[in-house]
Amino acid sequence: MYIRLTYVNYLPGKIEEAKRLYEEEITPIVKKQKGNLDCRMLEPVNKGDDYISMTVWETKEDADNYQNTGVYKKLVDRFKNLFSKEPVLKVYTSEGVPAHA
């Protein structure tokens, strides 16, 4: 599995709008992409920390296609007026990491 984490921080007063937009518009689009296993926004416990948009993909190819087709950029741009700083994307894999029982 490949996990894409986009770290974002929202302008004061824009968090509720961002959460609504993510749930109503972003999640349905991402979940329709080939190989998507999960899409969710992680809300920080410490209010000053970043929110994280997490998407999980079956394969590296699926994750790369999401990026390369421009869907990711289009979705990030949808939030542009809500960000307090530029988002940061980090990609991880869980392959080769042993699962604990």
Domain that holds residue 26: 2-93
- Model pLDDT for residues 21-69, shown as the tens digit of each residue: 999 999 999 999 999 999 999 999 998 899 999 999 999 999 999 999 9
- Read off φ and ψ for residue 8, nearest 5 degrees: -135, 155
User: Is residue 99 included in any domain, yes or no?
Assistant: no
User: Is residue 40 included in any domain, yes or no?
Assistant: yes
Query: Could you tell me the pLDDT band of residue 101, with boundaries at 50, 70 and 90?
Result: low
Nearest CA to 88 among 9, 2, 3, 1?
A: 9
Q: In the 8-state DSSP scheme, what is residue 49?
A: S
User: Is residue 98 included in any domain, yes or no?
Assistant: no
| Total domains present in the chain | 1
Domain at 58, CATH number: 3.30.70.100
- Model pLDDT for residues 67-94, shown as the tens digit of each residue: 999 999 999 999 999 999 999 999 999 8
User: Is residue 73 included in any domain, yes or no?
Assistant: yes
- What whole-number distance in Å separates Cα of residue 96 and Cα of residue 101? 15
